[in-house]
Structure 1
Amino acid sequence: MNQRIARTSNFVTALAVGPAPVLRFSVPLSATRRGARLARILAVEQLASWGLPFDPARLLVAELATNAVLHARVPGRMFRLTLAAVPSAMLRIEVTDTRGDRLPGPVPVVGGSFAESGHGLLLVGELADRWGVEEGPVPCKTVWAEIDLDGGH
């Protein structure tokens, strides 16, 4: 596929040449609470610049970035936020971290009731049309969520 590259600031957006352009935004962020917050802010700004709705995407970005910081942090390593959109069709949110050995699991249950933490992926499952985990390249994993922009039609 032919691609046209548009460079803005330090970010690169690749636009596929053809009937369905693919918008792409990717940025490395520090694996800190500040980095997770910045992921949400940057996602909202990027979606606004593309003219796409930022709900529920901002909640998904917040959850996935927070999970990367809290459960997959490796000192000195960053996580990556990637947004890819086919306007009027689909938005894909990806958060890649360097803890491929720690994959998301089921929501923990303590003594017959839900644990105090671990509910973030329940929220992701409710807000996203699809979500999953891709392993690799070593030592990484990517947790992704997709939202149908056409209302699922």
Structure 2
Amino acid sequence: MNRDIGHSAAPHSALRPEGFQLPAPTGHFVIRLSATPRGARLARRLAAEEVHRWGRPYDSDANRTVTLLVAELATNAVRHGRVRGRDFRLRLTLGPDGTSLRIEVTDARPECRPPSPGAIPPPSADLDTGRGLLLVEALSTRWGTTDGDPCTKTVWCEVALY
């Protein structure tokens, strides 16, 4: 498991020229996890912890929403984007103003793309699956899919943290 966390650091005040203003703090969290149900569960738990560290308590609506969105995207990466021996990557990026968060899940199956936003077919009434992207669409401000390289795709969403 690889983890890369970046936090903006404030330079020592004595080193700042007069009138210098620091940019708004941002948070960044990246981790590679095994493309297994255990990896998806761990993604959900680590996201909840990181969002809590960024000032949204575990029991807040914002934390619960982010946790659910990460769970859905990570589960899809495991179910539909898994290639034996390849991990998936979770990236969380807190917006500069601290009121928005971008969630990205990258998997190893670029040919297995989800439907476009707004074009998700209704789930089958007799199945217990097929509702994850509907939740992503309903709870995020926007979402989509991007290609990173010939071997991966990233499904992302953005969520307001009011």
TM bracket (short chain):
0.7 to 0.9
Equivalent in the alignment of 2:135: 123
Give the TM-score of the pair, scaled to structure 2. Answer: 0.77
The 8 Å contact of residues 128 and 147 in structure 1, kept in 2 or not, is answered as yes
Matches within 5 A, 1:27-106: 27-52=31-56, 53-86=62-95, 87-105=97-115, 106=119
The 8 Å contact of residues 35 and 78 in structure 2, kept in 1 or not, is answered as yes
Identity of aligned residues (%): 49
Instruction: Give the drift of 1:49.
Output: 1.1
Equivalent in the alignment of 1:134: 146
Where does structure 1 differ by over 6 angstroms across 4 or more consecutive aligned residues? none
Q: Over alpha carbons, which structure has the higher Rg?
A: 2
Give the TM-score of the pair, scaled to structure 1. Answer: 0.82
Q: Deviations over 1:22-70 (max 9, x none)?
A: 2100000000000000000000011111112412000000000000000
- In structure 1, runs of 5+ residues without a counterpart are 1-8
Q: Greater strand share, 1 or 2?
A: 1
Evaluate the alpha carbon distance shift between residue 94 and residue 61 of structure 1 in structure 2; reply closer, same or farther with a 3 A threshold: same
Q: Give aligned pairs, total.
A: 140
Equivalent in the alignment of 1:143: 155
Give the root-mean-square deviation of aligned CA atoms: 2.2
Evaluate the alpha carbon distance shift between residue 11 and residue 89 of structure 1 in structure 2; reply closer, same or farther with a 3 A threshold: same
Whole-angstrom CA distance in 2 between matches of 1:60 and 1:142: 14
Secondary structure of the corresponding residue to residue 56 of structure 1: helix
Equivalent in the alignment of 1:12: 5
